């Protein structure tokens, strides 16, 4: 079975969060329809940082039953945000290969996308030659499925009730803060 992963990030103080929504291809279209159906008039994307608390709660309530598995990777930014991202992304890619994910879509950071590509190529180069993972960067307005990862990373980073609300979507949380 092929799976697709959609990735976004969030930062809370010294904590860097990278979230991946892993989705079966049969669920891609229904989930995109669900997400785009939540847009307000004139809105091009759901971005949790910009949503009101009431809207966040409504969105999470609808996502709670979504057929997606969300993985969250937490790294420390004490030695720099880019280092934290590289650490999280490397672990994510390694895990996605184990899950036999075939497509990885990351939220574009424009000029820094090249850094991601280097990390991904390094990890894939350390794995078997039969790895079928393809990857690309897109703007978050280009694929609604990245919004799931955005919501999960934001909620997990916010902690408390927000973390509890996103709990039904979380499959795995990987804490890399003490890993060198």
**Predicted local distance difference test score (pLDDT) of residue 149:** 97
* Neighbour-count burial of 3, counting CB atoms closer than 10 A to its CB (0-12 exposed, 13-18 middle, 19+ buried): middle
pTM of the model: 0.94
Domains of the chain: 3-175 (3.30.420.10)
Mean pLDDT of the chain: 93
Neighbours of 12 (CB within 10 A): 15
Q: Which residues in the chain land under pLDDT 50?
A: none
pLDDT digits (tens, 9 = 90+) for 156-167: 999 999 999 999
Q: What is the pLDDT of residues 117-155, one digit of tens each?
A: 999 999 998 876 667 899 999 999 999 999 999 999 999
């Amino acid at each position: 079975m092929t799976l697709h992963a959609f990735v976004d990030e969030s930062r809370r103080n010294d904590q860097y969060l990278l979230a991946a929504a892993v989705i079966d291809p049969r669920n891609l279209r229904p989930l995109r329809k669900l997400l785009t159906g939540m847009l307000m008039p004139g809105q091009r994307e759901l971005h949790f940082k910009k949503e009101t608390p009431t809207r966040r709660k409504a969105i999470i309530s609808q996502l709670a039953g979504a057929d997606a598995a969300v993985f969250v990777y937490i790294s420390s930014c004490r030695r720099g945000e880019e280092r934290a991202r590289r650490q999280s992304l490397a672990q994510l890619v390694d895990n996605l290969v184990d899950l036999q994910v075939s497509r990885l879509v990351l939220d574009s950071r424009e000029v820094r996308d090249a850094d991601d590509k280097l990390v991904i190529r390094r990890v894939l180069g350390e794995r078997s030659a039969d790895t079928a993972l393809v990857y690309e960067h897109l703007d978050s307005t280009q694929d609604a499925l990245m919004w799931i990862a955005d919501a999960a990373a934001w909620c997990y980073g916010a902690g408390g009730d927000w973390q509890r609300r996103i709990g039904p979507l979380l499959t795995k949380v990987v804490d890399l803060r003490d890993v060198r």
